[in-house]
A and B are shown apart, each in its own frame.
Chain A
Amino acid sequence: MSSNGADQDAANRDVVSAAAARGPLAMEAVSISKDFRLGHATVLHAVREVSFALYRGAVVALVGESGSGKSTVARLLAGQERLTSGEIRLDGNRVDPSTRRSFRRYKSHVQLVFQDPFSSLNPVHTVRHHLERPVRLHQGRKSRAEVAGEVGTLLDQVRLIPAGQFTGKYPHELSGGQRQRVSFARALAAKPAVLLADEPVSMLDVSIRLEMLSLLNDLRNRFKLALLYITHDIASARYFADEVLVMYAGQIVERGPAEELTQHPAHPYTQLLVASAPDPDNLGGTLRASGTSFRSPGAGTPGAGQPAAAAAGARAQAAATTVRGCPFSPRCPLADDRCRTDAPALLPVSAGRAAACWRLDVAAPGVLAEGRGGL
């Protein structure tokens, strides 16, 4: 495992992040891991040797299904969980947010926005209260008028206009979109360099999502935020992110520039994600033509209950215990004997791209050929 980790490290250094062109390095996760103990004998490896970097003004998307460990990565970066191993660097310095004081200082650089705007705001406090507190905590001594002015500016920045109409409101008086704007404003109150957004739009209506993403986009440009966008919606990552990291069972299985990765996915898991996204241009194609034409590998068919159970079980199992081989191998249509015994390292495949797969020659010959030409 450790030699494997070193390999991955090397691979990550070889791959120039697609986000790097946007601005200076803000934050780095170096081979971070997180284990959770489940009972005395079982350990859940929620995050395994994950490395990536966030750059000012750039969006990195972390894509994966529930249980893949993407939210744990956000919590680790936000200092809400302690690392099992690895380190987090902020502006090149290793951070250790273990004491209260250093944690607070850390929080003024790194802010987290949660998925659920309905539970992340306190129902008994007004919008003003939600915003005044972080302003007082993070922006030093200010007079009452200055704080009020700052709250107005924050609401303005997230386009809750006119600000005066919103300061006295309670969360239940706001729509989901408005609440999420308050969450953004609260994060901005600390004047952070890094914003970690954990599924910031997936609880919102489709018609509002775009507006929220464009607001986030506007904020990152305006404040040169280094943004980590965590999502299970790979289509939004295509439009919004510079670089996409695909996570499966606690590991990054593929990374690359957003457009290239989504249009020419190399890893079989990424290919499955892309194939599963609704495709309106393929009207009634895969779903309706014949119900059985599309099935994700390993999902099984009705009647043959066993494979379905195996797939569902495989997911939990992959994360829970030390699996030998590639974590995706139980669901992968291309898996061979080596996949089941040796874990593939995340290796460069072409400019800015890396994938952890033994069978790339079969899974993505086009991407590989391009890589050989380019490297």
Chain B
Amino acid sequence: MNPTAPVLDISDFSVVYRTPGGDVRAVSDVNLALHPGEVVGLAGESGSGKSTLVYAACRLLRAPALITGGSVTYCGRRAAGPTDVLQLGGHELQQLRWREIAMVFQSAMNALNPVLNVRDQITDAIHAHLRMSRGAALKKAGSLLDLVGIPRGRLRSYPHELSGGMRQRVMIAMALAADPEIVIMDEPTTALDVVVQRDILAQIVELKEQLGFAILFITHDLSLLLELADRIAVMYSGQLMEIATATAIHRQPAHPYTRGLLNSFPSLHGPRRELAGIPGTPPDLRHPPAGCPFLPRCGYGTDACRTVDMRLERVADPAGLEHLTACPFVRPDTPAPDRPSTAAGQELPA
């Protein structure tokens, strides 16, 4: 899809959490690339390892989290050549963060310092990462607020004086302070109302078009990604289950887990569908099952799944774009299984 080299390339990446009860394999052999200007959505439920993957790749985790394998390569326009993120020392990391890779966290209330006003908040970040005079930093702070549609009068406001949406906008403005190549967004709109959420997403898309950064968007809400992302990676139990364009995920989902997710959210538009959901709970990652981790919850499962190799394989895509799935048995044209996949069995009233 993108002939250009990826700006961030995560390959064969594994992360464990060392605990007294044994290693928790939070991320296993993940391959994921982000191309310049692209929006990649990373979808998965809590505990699927989506945040661990991204935080570890940015070197934001410390013990007991441990990177056990793989590589993370960053290659930005301003960089001289590919950088191995996992080998960087403290100073180089400081150079990478914010300037090249910026982050927007989920809970703006907790991410902003409650005793600093917006102006100090933003100029602090600018001074920490860029060489700039005080006057220039102040000017920059003002223009960043313009960018996200907050009146400059708000520079003197404290976080508690701002609405949830405004706080999130301030976070986005701060992330954009150094004109980064990549913006990582970890559930930036989950705590917000639908109306505000939509405004902010529209704004993010607009800024992306304007400034040309790439976005890695982490969320458990697949319906949001279908609209927002160019490509979607679906993660389950520390492994990637499926990667494809948003259109392919929506129209021809291959992996049973993706199908389950798509069947989980009530839609407001279009005819009422029968919703099935996904019964059961994710496996314990201290003792991951052999074969496919989704098997206990899967309606398509057979005995062969117990020994299956969870390697991503290509499936035929009508548009000729890359579409990978970890399930060797179910293809986009495989019909849904006869037996109900809900253990609960209950349907919402028609």
Contact = CB atoms under 8 A, between A and B. Distances in A.
A210 B150 contact: no
Interface string A237-261: 0111000000000000000000100
Given A210-B275, A281-B269, A283-B226, A304 B165 contact: no
B261 interface: yes
Specify the main secondary structure of chain A where it touches its partner.
helix
Interface string B138-169: 00000001111111111000000001111000
Contacts of B147: 302-303
Interface stretch (B16-24, B125-133, B199-207, B316-324): B199-207
A275 B202 CA distance: 13
Contacts of B46: 176, 205
A163 interface: no
B150 A296 contact: no
A282 B246 CA distance: 11
Most chain A C-beta atoms within 10 Å of own C-beta, residue among B45, B152, B260? B45
Contact of A309 (B45, B150, B346): B150
Nearest to B199: A299
B99 interface: no
Interface string A286-298: 1110011011100
B195 A272 contact: yes
Interface in B246-288: 246-247, 250, 260-262, 264-270, 272, 275-279, 281
A129 B202 CA distance: 47
B268 to A, nearest CB: 4
Contact of A208 (B45, B205, B266, B270): B45
Interface residues of A, number: 63
Contacts of B261: 206-207
Contacts of B262: 280
A277 B199 contact: no
A308 interface: yes
Nearest to A293: B202
Most chain A C-beta atoms within 10 Å of own C-beta, residue among B208, B269, B276, B279? B269
Contacts of B170: none
Interface in A335-353: none
A296 B199 CA distance: 7
Contacts of A206: 45, 220-223, 261, 264-265
A234 B268 contact: yes
A318 to B, nearest CB: 13
A236 B348 CA distance: 10
B201 A287 contact: yes
Interface in A216-274: 217-218, 232-236, 238-240, 259, 262, 272-274
Nearest to B279: A211
A283 B250 contact: yes
B95 to A, nearest CB: 29
A250 to B, nearest CB: 16
B262 to A, nearest CB: 8
A286 B203 contact: no
A210 B265 contact: yes
Sort A-B residue pairs by CB-CB distance and give the 5 closest, nearest first.
Answer: A291-B206, A210-B277, A235-B268, A305-B151, A302-B149
Given A277-B268, A283-B227, 8 more contacts: A205-B220, A206-B45, A209-B265, A215-B344, A238-B266, A240-B349, A282-B227, A302-B147
5 contacts: A207-B261, A211-B344, A276-B198, A279-B269, A292-B202
